[in-house]
Amino acid sequence: MDVTAAVATEIGGAFAIKHLALADPAPDEVLVEIAGVGLCHTDLAAKDGHLPFPLPGVFGHEGSGVVAAVGSAVTKVGPGDQVVLSFDSCGHCTQCDAGEPAYCQEFMAYNFGGARQDGTSPLSDGGNPVGSAFFGQSSFATHALARERNVVKVSGDAPLAVLGPLGCGVQTGAGAVLNSLDCQPGGTLLVLGGGSVGLSAVLAGVVRGLSRIIVVEPHAARRDLALSLGATHVVDPGDGPLAEQVRAIAAEGADYAIDTTGIAAVLQDAMQALAHRAKVGIIGVPADPEAALALNLIQAQVLGVRVMGIVEGDSDPDVFIPELLELHRTGRFPFDKLVTTMPFADINEAVAAQHRGDAVKIVLVHGEL
């Protein structure tokens, strides 16, 4: 079928809106008519060459929409079902068998390979293959093919067009608090960066009943938003040394810290603001793939600091996304307050707006909400 997609043709270049051909669903695939798709930092990192993906290619990995058709082996969903698209995984490695698909041993191949696992590309331009299957979906388009494994059925009363960020950014921030670090009620959480991932962590911190939620963010509007979402304190990194500002709020330091910036120097400063037995989660994708954290070994030993990398909030999307939606239904997880919608055709302006900090999470929508 013919689809309209935003195509990245060169590293660092603008997206081009083009008509492409999309293959029919394979036996384990689901064809989804996209209602909305989140614009994520990971899409832009891949477009700018910081993550591997073949160009020309179609990104987009926070899609939501309605199932239009399914492959012959699909039983999980059917035509007409509303779905959120999330990351892909093999389903049969040690980690997938253990219920940890975010750490699938074939994660890079399934999410960044640029094609199906048999090497074919579902997308083509004039008969020439186009990089596709980004996070198992490539949803910067009017329609996308996903595998049965990475679609999550959602209820019909959900605000479908803005649900896509649950598939990556929102579940990553919330999962870091609720799953990865397993933050305990009464603790102090330090969130580095007030973007969609960081503010999703704030929402989860409120759900978990943390006593202090401190957000470090240079943009005043995002600091204000953080406070409105339940952060107890905000810090402007330009106002002085980070550790001093944090310890003025929590003298013993933070029990938990989450870095969403991907900037090693920011996380390095935050290491001086930790409490004994603190847990640190690394989420942000660095611009420099060789970026490294210099860890003071004696300090880490004396404090008993535990540092972990976090992918997708240690989430099993089939389990976690419905849990977040139930929290949203009851008013306890208002992630939609992070969302600004823009027409899909304005994707390049959306990228510029996100870079300027004009919006926290932009969702590109097709048609009316």
pLDDT by residue for the chain (369 residues), tens digit each? 999 999 999 999 999 999 999 999 999 999 999 999 999 989 999 999 888 899 999 999 999 999 999 999 999 999 999 999 999 999 999 999 999 999 999 999 999 999 999 999 999 999 999 999 999 999 999 999 999 999 999 987 889 999 999 999 999 999 999 999 999 999 999 999 999 999 999 999 999 999 999 999 999 999 999 999 999 999 999 999 999 999 999 999 999 999 999 999 999 999 999 999 999 999 998 888 888 988 889 989 999 999 999 999 999 999 999 999 999 999 999 999 999 999 999 999 999 998 888 999 999 999 753
Considering the domain boundaries, does residue 317 fall inside one? Answer: no
Note whether 191 and 115 are same-domain residues. no
Note whether 358 and 342 are same-domain residues. yes
Note whether 285 and 304 are same-domain residues. yes
Considering the domain boundaries, does residue 275 fall inside one? Answer: yes
What is the tally of structural domains in the chain?
2
Note whether 147 and 195 are same-domain residues. no
Considering the domain boundaries, does residue 316 fall inside one? Answer: no
Note whether 182 and 163 are same-domain residues. no
- Reduce the DSSP state of residue 255 to 3 states and report it: strand
Note whether 99 and 26 are same-domain residues. yes
Beta bridge partners of 16: 7
- 317 and 167 Cβ atoms separated by less than 8 Å: yes
Note whether 148 and 191 are same-domain residues. no
Note whether 297 and 205 are same-domain residues. yes
- In angstroms, rounded to a whole number, what is the distance separating the alpha carbons of residues 87 and 108? 11
Considering the domain boundaries, does residue 248 fall inside one? Answer: yes
Note whether 200 and 161 are same-domain residues. no
CA atoms within 13 A on the CB side of 355: 9
Considering the domain boundaries, does residue 79 fall inside one? Answer: yes
Considering the domain boundaries, does residue 179 fall inside one? Answer: yes
Note whether 161 and 179 are same-domain residues. no
> CA angle 121-46-98, nearest 5°?
75
**CATH number of the domain that residue 76 is part of:** 3.90.180.10
- In angstroms, rounded to a whole number, what is the distance separating the alpha carbons of residues 67 and 153? 10
Domain of 266?
175-310
The dihedrals phi and psi of 50, each to the nearest 5 degrees, come to -80, -15
**CATH number of the domain that residue 291 is part of:** 3.40.50.720
